Amino acid sequence: MAAFDVTGRSVIVTGGSRGIGKGIAGVFAAAGANVLVVGRDADAAGACAAELDAGAAGTVSAFAADVATSAGCAAIAAAAQERHGGVDVLCANAGIFPDGMLADLPEAEIDRVLATNVKGTMLAVQACLPALTASGRGRVVITSSITGPITGFPGWTHYGASKAAQLGFMRTAAIELAPRGITVNAVLPGNIVTEGLAELGPEYEAQMAASIPLRRLGEVADIGHAALFFASDQARYVTGQTLVVDGGQVLPESMAAMEGL
């Protein structure tokens, strides 16, 4: 079998309308999958799908829904069932990262981050369970982060907690879903260039790149390729695991480790 061939598989990418999710969707579409990109903004999701669909080996279409609600997640699963006959791969990628120091963090903001990043991941998996089970080779790929599971950054206590919580969810879900033939894994991106980061300008990007051993920020396709591995037949015996994709960002034990290189 060809490496990482996902021809004809039904793939959902939540948060697929821009950023990392769009990169994941592009990689799967290029590899022959039928991809549903999901975001709350229908116009943005539609424009993204049209762009990715053009010339892809697979197909890309859009669906607007909020992953923070069970009704939204049920609608996503139903759309994939109707358009692609089921769900083989769920990329639970939708996430938000508003910043705010702990001392002043409003309760509503904590709730909003946890509702999207943690509850949204859980509800999306739950809604897709019947279809993932029917697939016979169901795959869940969660987009977590280095922030929380491995590193910290002032202003992101709630976000870091949510990204670590996704891994707690993953480890027990991997055990519960193994008898159904479903694997559950997570990609932990470092700093990835997205539309949002690009707006901060080249100087900001260069400063961030200086602290990364590979001396560049990640591209969205770098995360897409890691997700494609977890979704592939070749990864069938891998479950409950994390893959850090960060150019070595978490490795230096101090700034001195990067000096003179």
Catalytic residues: 159
Of 74, 96, 114, 221, the residue at the interface with ligand NAP (CB under 6 A) is 96
Least Cβ distance, residue 175 to ligand NAP (angstroms): 23
Taking the C-alpha atoms of residue 21 and residue 85, their distance in angstroms, rounded to an integer, is 22
Least Cβ distance, residue 42 to ligand NAP (angstroms): 8
Least Cβ distance, residue 40 to ligand NAP (angstroms): 3
Tell me the C-alpha to C-alpha distance, in Å, between residue 153 and each of 96, 99, 160.
15, 10, 8
**C-beta of 48 vs 182, nearer to ligand NAP:** 48
Of 19, 26, 138, 148, the residue at the interface with ligand NAP (CB under 6 A) is 19
Angle at 77 between CA 74 and CA 82, to 5 degrees: 120
**Residue 104 DSSP SS3:** helix
Is 119 a binding residue for ligand NAP by CB under 6 A? The answer is no
Is 121 a binding residue for ligand NAP by CB under 6 A? The answer is no
Structure tokens that stand for 190 in this block? 């470092």
Is 186 a binding residue for ligand NAP by CB under 6 A? The answer is no
Nearest CA to 180 out of 120, 123, 228, 128 is that of: 128
Of 26, 58, 86, 95, the residue at the interface with ligand NAP (CB under 6 A) is 95
| Interface segment toward ligand NAP; rule CB under 6 A; list 13-21, 52-60, 131-139, 174-182 | 13-21
Show contacts of 78-83: CB within 8 Å, 24+ apart: 79/36, 80/10, 80/12, 80/36, 80/128, 80/131, 81/131, 83/10, 83/34, 83/36
- Which parts of the chain are beta strand (E)? 10-14, 34-39, 59-64, 89-92, 139-143, 183-189, 242-245
| Interface segment toward ligand NAP; rule CB under 6 A; list 63-71, 148-156, 175-183, 251-259 | 63-71
**C-beta of 96 vs 134, nearer to ligand NAP:** 96
Is 34 a binding residue for ligand NAP by CB under 6 A? The answer is no
Least Cβ distance, residue 200 to ligand NAP (angstroms): 11
Structure tokens that stand for 99 in this block? 């910043």
| Interface segment toward ligand NAP; rule CB under 6 A; list 66-74, 79-87, 150-158, 248-256 | 66-74
**C-beta of 3 vs 214, nearer to ligand NAP:** 214
Taking the C-alpha atoms of residue 234 and residue 50, their distance in angstroms, rounded to an integer, is 30
Nearest CA to 142 out of 240, 260, 48 is that of: 240
CA dihedral 185, 189, 194, 199 (to 10 degrees): 150
What string marks each residue from 141 to 180 as x (binds ligand NAP by CB under 6 A) or -? --x-x-----------------------------------
Residues 188-207 close enough to bind ligand NAP by CB under 6 A: 189, 191-192, 194, 196
DSSP lists the bridge partners of residue 140 as: 90, 184
DSSP lists the bridge partners of residue 142 as: 92, 186
Given the rule CB under 6 A, which residues bind ligand NAP? Answer: 14-15, 17-21, 38-41, 44, 66-68, 93-97, 116, 120, 143, 145, 189, 191-192, 194, 196
